[in-house]
């Protein structure tokens, strides 16, 4: 098993610590998304694995091969990696086929594959990304989605052991992005290559990854499956960034929570992380909340509807309550109107 092991990685840019003691183990063939806001260190981590950036300290290994250790680094070309960049990085004077042939002309790949093998690899990869028939087209003759497929094909044609992707869909519109998400999942299922995928888009990460690394300010906040990150965040940052949760203040008694502004209201929280209980907080997601225009039981958080947005299958209500602006997602458009008094309950 060729596991990617990242141990105690630290990276300084002058006096700024971009990576703060990063430790990650990536299983063979696993799809890992690195998620976080701009400046959190996710691209620095990816480029450290690629060899474009040399860490200040730590170790990066893939199986028995040491990529980096104690300031000694294996060159990029010897790591057998594929890289997909944010803005395609296609050469305007090269055809689709020439883009795929380019990485196969390196000294390493000429040793690994003979001429017939390289030709077959180009043909097979074009078919895999559904670009057969576009071999002789230049980038200016391709759509945005086709350009992204060329960039992806160029990265995988040499059968890399690890595929690195740095926000590869950020330049695409929403429809193309969804199409490429499906394509990347299909290709990963067929190739079974280990993938590290950087993104700031929560939905993109959750749609693609087996596990997600959530980063903030150079540190890892949580590593988990998309389901667990969403339903069981371990830190306030993960609760807000991934789950879009609100942190309601109150008191815990065992696994029961009473909001400070509604002491007669009780929410169950057996699976809420210990951090929130210790800090008298409850993370609640928009779809967990309901609205009532009156409260026959006298329970719930009193608030005022400040905005109402019809989104087709659901309606988004923005409510001022407990000193916060709460977002409530409802299937009903007719619960309340703007400026109306409501009670917010958790279902």
Cβ neighbours of residue 29 closer than 8 Å, sequence gap 6 or more? 192, 193, 194
169 within 8 A of 142, measured Cβ to Cβ: no
> Mean of the pLDDT values across residues 73-80?
89
Say if residue 222 is in the same domain as residue 296.
Answer: no
Q: What is the mean pLDDT of the chain?
A: 92
Q: Are residues 258 and 134 in the same domain?
A: no
Same domain as 249, residue 189: no
What pLDDT is recorded for position 174?
Answer: 83
Query: 342 Cβ partners below 8 Å, 6+ apart?
Result: 291, 292, 293, 302, 303, 304, 305, 319, 335, 336
Residues 196 and 95 in one domain: yes
Q: How far apart, in whole angstroms, are the C-alpha atoms of residue 17 and residue 36?
A: 16
Question: At residue 101, does pLDDT exceed 90?
Answer: yes
The boundaries of the domain holding residue 305 are 244-346
Which residues are bridge partners to 45 per DSSP? Answer: none
Tokens 């203040």 — which residue? 249
Angle 268-269-272 from CA coordinates, rounded to 5°: 165
DSSP secondary structure string for all residues of 45-80: HHHHHHTSS--SEEEEEETTEEEEETTEE--GGGS-
296 pLDDT tier (thresholds 50, 70, 90): low
The reported pLDDT for the residue numbered 263 is 81
Comparing 183 with 216, which gets the higher pLDDT?
216
Both tokens of residue 333? 């458009």
pLDDT of residue 144: 87
Q: Does the pLDDT of residue 297 top 70, yes or no?
A: no
Distance between CA atoms of residues 276 and 248, nearest Å = 10
Question: Which two structure tokens, joined as six digits, stand for 273?
Answer: 């992380």
Q: For position 70, what pLDDT does the model report?
A: 79
> Does 48 score more than 90 pLDDT?
yes
The pLDDT score that the predictor gives to residue 86 is 81
Q: Is beta strand 194-199 parallel, antiparallel or unpaired with respect to 31-35?
A: parallel
CATH number assigned to the domain comprising residue 315: 2.40.50.140
In a domain, 60, yes or no: yes
Using the CB atoms, write b or e for 233-265: b if 16+ within 10 Å. Answer: bbbbbbbebbbebbbbebebeeeebbbebbeeb
pLDDT score for 261: 85
Lowest pLDDT segment from 27-31, 119-123, 188-192: 188-192
pLDDT of residue 23: 97
Same domain, 221 and 316: no
In a domain, 234, yes or no: no
What's the structural domain count of the chain?
Answer: 2
pLDDT score, position 55: 95
| Six token digits for residue 173 | 């519109």
Instruction: Based on the fold, state whether residues 55 and 201 are members of the same structural domain.
Output: yes
Q: Does residue 200 carry a pLDDT above 60?
A: yes
pLDDT band at 85, cuts 50/70/90? confident
Question: Could you give the 3-state DSSP secondary structure of residue 222?
Answer: strand
Assess whether 214 and 254 both reside in one domain: no
Q: Give pLDDT, residue 1.
A: 59
Are 212 and 250 members of one domain? no
Q: What is the pLDDT of residues 137-194, one digit of tens each?
A: 999 999 988 998 999 999 999 999 999 999 998 878 888 888 889 989 999 999 889 9
Instruction: Report the pLDDT value the prediction gives residue 107, as an integer from 0 to 100.
Output: 86
17 with 56, same domain?
yes
Q: What is the mean pLDDT of residues 325-337?
A: 90
Mean local confidence (pLDDT), 231-250: 95
CATH number (domain holding residue 212):
3.40.50.300
pLDDT of residue 229: 96
Q: Is the pLDDT of residue 295 over 60?
A: no
């Amino acid at each position: 098993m060729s596991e990617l092991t990242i141990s105690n990685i630290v990276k300084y840019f002058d006096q700024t610590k971009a990576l703060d003691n990063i430790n990650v183990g990536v299983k063979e063939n696993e799809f890992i998304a690195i998620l976080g806001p701009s400046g959190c260190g996710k691209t620095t981590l990816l480029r450290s694995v690629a060899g474009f950036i040399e860490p200040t300290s730590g170790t990066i290994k893939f199986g028995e091969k040491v990529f980096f250790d104690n300031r000694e680094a294996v060159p990029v070309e010897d790591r057998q990696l594929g890289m997909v960049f944010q803005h395609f990085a296609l050469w305007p004077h090269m055809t689709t086929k020439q883009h795929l042939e380019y990485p196969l002309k390196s000294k390493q790949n000429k040793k690994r594959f003979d001429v017939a093998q390289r030709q077959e690899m180009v043909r097979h990869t074009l078919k895999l990304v559904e670009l057969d028939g576009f071999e002789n087209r230049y980038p200016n003759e391709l759509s945005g989605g086709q350009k992204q497929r060329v960039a992806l094909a160029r990265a995988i044609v040499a059968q890399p052991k690890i595929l690195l992707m740095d926000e590869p869909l950020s330049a695409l519109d929403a429809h193309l992005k969804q199409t490429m998400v499906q394509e990347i999942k299909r290709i990963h299922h067929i190739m079974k290559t280990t993938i590290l995928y950087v993104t700031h888009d929560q939905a993109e990460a959750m749609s693609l990854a087996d596990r997600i690394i959530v980063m903030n300010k150079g540190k890892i906040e949580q590593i988990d499956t998309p389901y667990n990150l969403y339903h069981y965040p371990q830190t306030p940052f993960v609760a807000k960034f991934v789950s879009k949760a609100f942190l309601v203040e109150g008191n815990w008694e065992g696994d029961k929570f009473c909001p400070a502004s509604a002491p007669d209201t009780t929410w169950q929280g057996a699976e809420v992380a210990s951090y929130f209980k210790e800090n008298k907080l409850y993370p609640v997601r928009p779809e967990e909340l309901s609205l009532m225009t009156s409260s026959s039981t006298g329970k719930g958080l009193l608030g005022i509807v400040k905005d109402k947005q019809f989104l087709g299958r659901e309606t988004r209500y923005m409510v001022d309550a407990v000193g916060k602006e709460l977002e409530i997602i409802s299937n009903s458009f007719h619960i309340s109107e703007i400026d109306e008094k409501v009670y917010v309950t958790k279902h």
